[in-house]
Structure 1
Amino acid sequence: MVHDSVIAALRLAAEQDPGNPELRLHLADLLLQAGKAEAALEQARAALNREPDNVRALRLAAWAADEAGETDAAQRYHRLHDALTGVVQGTAQGVAAPVNTPLRAEVFPDPANEPEPGSAAEQNAADQRWDLQTPRVTLADVSGMQAVKQRLELALLAPLRNPELLKMYGSALRGGLLLYGPPGCGKTFIARAVAGELNARFINVGLSDVLDMYLGQSERNLSDVFALARRRAPCVLFLDEVDALGRRRSQMRHSAANVVGQLLSELDGAKASNEGVFVLAATNSPWDVDPALRRPGRFDRTLLVLPPDLEARRHLLELELRSRPTEALDLPAIAARTGEFSGADLSHLVSSATELAMQDAIRQGKVRPIRQADFIRALKEVRPSTRTWFETARNAAQFANEDGEYDDLLAHLRGKPSGR
């Protein structure tokens, strides 16, 4: 379950950076998970006010409006989403077209104009819905985080680079890898870097990309993206916020539990081989993931992604400041004072210091660079958002560590290296 303090922190960040639609949409995702559909709809609408053609915002708005009981609004958002993505919804999903709708031709298309099931035209139309990338980044582009890189090398990359060795030992690399840790610490970037290491395609799948208000469409979305990954193998399929997508079925409605069942089927390769498809997932709450997804052959390996270390923090600060005017900054000193900061927190810190410099420039009537004093003032106001996550994680890990899967986390919390 999403902790209220995390939502509160994201609300504050959205208020301080109102022009950031991605931040609002992430908050909307979490609000939906927490059952706060009306608040989620408000955030999705705010994102649409800035980017009316944002497909993710339209999908979230449709889902939130449906959960909030605003059926007419949900249908409007869904039709706009479909018009932008080229997806056609019909009565096969059990949804009747609204009376006198101007988009009736979209809702009830002419069967003669539809591509044949399984045809290249239908596959191409489905493929365009997903963000298929060819990453140019590798783990060399990930600053610091040596422990994460070493675990990735041992658990995933080395076996993939040495298929003959696997064959010699009569073994096969099965199952997926689950990245977990505080939000904003680079799990998505690491997954993209893994794809770059393997010279593979990369598909980033979020909660709003899969879940759909139409009956049965969520399961079809999952099937479609796995089919795309198989056709474009080698491919890294990255499932973001998998705790929401694959939440414990005891906590979900029946229709949402069906999505977990579909995900299990796809991971098992029940209908098609997953050879060449490497499934990575990320979550802030691994303890909320359905136990069936953690069984051997599925997400049976975990990797803790902690806030950036000293080297990584200094590098992230450099990246954030490279296009801003600065003067006599001691970045190592700033990095040393941000020990619990996530990447997102560091970005917020730089924005806050920049705002202080801008306010001073407005008062004086002349532009001045960002100085060390601005960061010292900003550090008095900006606090690391990871603290609330660690508080929640401590309780969860202590009572759910029967098989030792949270040993790394508990060792970090104790402040000494793991024995593993």
Structure 2
Amino acid sequence: MSSNPLLDSLRNAVTAAPEDIALRLHLAELLLSDGARDEAVSHIAAALQQEPGNAAASRMMAQALAPADRTEPEEPEPAPKKSYDWSAAEAELADVVQPRFIESDESEQDDEPEAVPSDPQADGAVFEVETSDVRLDDVGGMTEVKKRLNAAFLAPMRNAKLRKLFGKSLRGGLLLYGPPGCGKTFLAKAVAGELGARFISVTLQEVLDMWMGNSEKNMHALFQTARQNAPCVLFFDEIDAIGQRRSQLRNSGLRGTVNQLLTELDGVKSDNEGVFVLAATNHPWDIDQALLRPGRFDRAVAVLPPDDEARKAILGYHLKDRPVAGIKLSELVKRTDGFSGADLAHICEAASERALMDSIEAGEPRMIEMPDLLGALGEVTPSTTSWFTTARNVVLYSNQDGTYNDLAAYLKKKRML
């Protein structure tokens, strides 16, 4: 490493301010001039990781990786003093030493070389476009959530004249948040079914790529697919993983992915008419605030544990194809307040296991009855409890802009606030 005092000072400055791209590139330029190409390349690569589209960094990287020009002409190789007959030598030693190289058999020469499979990510990721036959009527309860979805997407879509009169665009982003297992993905499919729109569901692993720039390319390919299939519901599951706060992503490739997502949502060249962007998260407080600004995910709906009507529908759904007798759904509904849909499904599964094991021990089948369900209920605690502990603190100390008013109303109703 060079002991140049200026370079040492710049290295210290870059260490203190690693996100200052201009400072880092200035250091890289001086390092190139000083002949420290490897160190310069590492700084240029760090700058490109933070800002993949930086033209100055790209030019400097090309300069750093270009082969050095020869300043002196190559000297011609001296002619051999005496030729040597290698063929004759090989013939003499054929019985002693095996030849180093042999020609392929004629049958092998006729075969074409095996094709190398192409990288499916070379031209960007391919995303599956589905259709949904789920409707909001298939979602039990959740009346307030359905009203918000109807106002945000469904009513404007069905009333073209009124939409034009009131200047309502078909562009939009809606964030569904709440504890896990409460049906956010099911609601997104129901919206697509109500609109008669195509449906694309995407998670972090489908977008993120280990190679620099490919994650951004995949994000662009995702939105292009949705635009080409409009009307289309584009659903980001666990958006907090894709759109994390950039302040928590220092020197991470995810920063570029978040920036690309912002650009695709409302960039100058983004035409998302007919593309309905929905997202779901269990941790809305971990999402980058830029994603929650107007024109992006500017509306949020709390999808909370199912109400009485919804719990009755969920329990009925999971028990309808099982051998049951004497089940009092109303009693189960009263005992499962605060349970998520996934919790209710688990209770039904555990009750079935109880009846199954009794049938095996008795040697004859029996029906699933209330004691089985009550026994299973006693072994299951609501999975939403820890989530509400965190959510309560967020509502108390981070709800100045009213983002979590729906959640605050629920907590007050349940006397948790």
TM over 0.5: yes
Residue aligning to 2:240: 243
Q: Unaligned 5+ residue runs, structure 2?
A: 1-113
Written as runs of structure 1 = structure 2, the 5 A alignment for 1:75-154 is 105-106=116-117, 129-154=126-151
Partner amino acid, structure 2, of 1:376? L
Task: Choose which of 191, 210, 233 in structure 2 pairs with 1:194.
Answer: 191
Shift of 1:314: 1.3
Query: 2:180 touches 2:340 (CA, 8 Å); kept in 1?
Result: yes
Deviation readout 1:242-288 (Å, 9 max, x if unpaired): 01110101111431111100100110143341111010111111111
Q: Distance in 2 between matches of 1:324 and 1:270?
A: 54
SS in 1 for 2:295: coil
Written as runs of structure 1 = structure 2, the 5 A alignment for 1:194-233 is 194-233=191-230
Partner amino acid, structure 1, of 2:383? S
Q: Is 1:334 matched up with 2:345?
A: no
Shift of 1:313: 1.1
Residue aligning to 1:303: 301
Q: Distance in 2 between matches of 1:398 and 1:161?
A: 39
Larger Cα-atom Rg = 2
Query: Would the alpha carbon gap of residues 169 and 376 (structure 1) be closer, same or farther in structure 2, given more than 3 Å must change?
Result: closer
Residue aligning to 2:178: 181
SS in 1 for 2:359: helix
Partner amino acid, structure 2, of 1:161? R
Task: Choose which of 364, 367, 374 in structure 1 pairs with 2:365.
Answer: 367
Q: Distance in 2 between matches of 1:353 and 1:151?
A: 36
SS in 2 for 1:280: strand
TM-score, normalization by structure 2: 0.68
Written as runs of structure 1 = structure 2, the 5 A alignment for 1:145-164 is 145-164=142-161
Query: 2:178 touches 2:303 (CA, 8 Å); kept in 1?
Result: yes
Residue aligning to 1:380: 378
Partner amino acid, structure 2, of 1:206? T
Partner amino acid, structure 1, of 2:380? V
Q: Distance in 1 between matches of 2:330 and 2:183?
A: 20
Q: Distance in 2 between matches of 1:293 and 1:272?
A: 15
Residue aligning to 1:256: 254
Query: 2:182 touches 2:304 (CA, 8 Å); kept in 1?
Result: yes
Q: Distance in 1 between matches of 2:238 and 2:168?
A: 30
Query: 2:171 touches 2:272 (CA, 8 Å); kept in 1?
Result: no
Percentage of identical aligned residues: 54
Query: 1:175 touches 1:296 (CA, 8 Å); kept in 2?
Result: no
Residue aligning to 1:168: 165
Deviation readout 1:391-418 (Å, 9 max, x if unpaired): 111111221111111111111101179x
Structure number having the greater helix percentage: 1
Partner amino acid, structure 2, of 1:360? D
129-138 or 142-151: bigger deviation: 129-138
150-159 or 219-228: bigger deviation: 150-159
Shift of 1:162: 2.7
Query: 1:202 touches 1:236 (CA, 8 Å); kept in 2?
Result: yes
SS in 1 for 2:172: coil
Q: Unaligned 5+ residue runs, structure 1?
A: 1-102
Task: Choose which of 400, 410, 413 in structure 1 pairs with 2:411.
Answer: 413
207-216 or 352-361: bigger deviation: 207-216
Query: 2:135 touches 2:191 (CA, 8 Å); kept in 1?
Result: yes
SS in 2 for 1:392: helix
Residue aligning to 2:388: 390
Query: 1:174 touches 1:298 (CA, 8 Å); kept in 2?
Result: no
SS in 2 for 1:385: coil
Residue aligning to 2:100: none
205-214 or 345-354: bigger deviation: 205-214
Partner amino acid, structure 2, of 1:373? P
Aligned length: 301
SS in 2 for 1:176: strand
Residue aligning to 2:289: 291
SS in 2 for 1:202: strand
Q: Distance in 1 between matches of 2:351 and 2:358?
A: 11
SS in 2 for 1:380: helix
Residue aligning to 1:344: 342
Query: 2:170 touches 2:276 (CA, 8 Å); kept in 1?
Result: no
Q: Distance in 2 between matches of 1:262 and 1:276?
A: 20
Deviation readout 1:332-380 (Å, 9 max, x if unpaired): 2112211111111111111111111122222222221111001111111
Partner amino acid, structure 1, of 2:117? E
TM-score, normalization by structure 1: 0.68
Partner amino acid, structure 2, of 1:251? Q
SS in 2 for 1:377: helix
Q: Distance in 2 between matches of 1:258 and 1:399?
A: 30
Deviation readout 1:180-216 (Å, 9 max, x if unpaired): 0111111111111111111110111112221222322
Deviation readout 1:306-330 (Å, 9 max, x if unpaired): 1111111111112112222112111
Residue aligning to 1:268: 266
Shift of 1:106: 2.8
Deviation readout 1:126-149 (Å, 9 max, x if unpaired): 5xx323111112111111111111
CA RMSD in angstroms, aligned pairs only? 2.3
Shift of 1:104: 8.7
Query: 2:170 touches 2:273 (CA, 8 Å); kept in 1?
Result: no
Deviation readout 1:81-107 (Å, 9 max, x if unpaired): xxxxxxxxxxxxxxxxxxxxxx99236
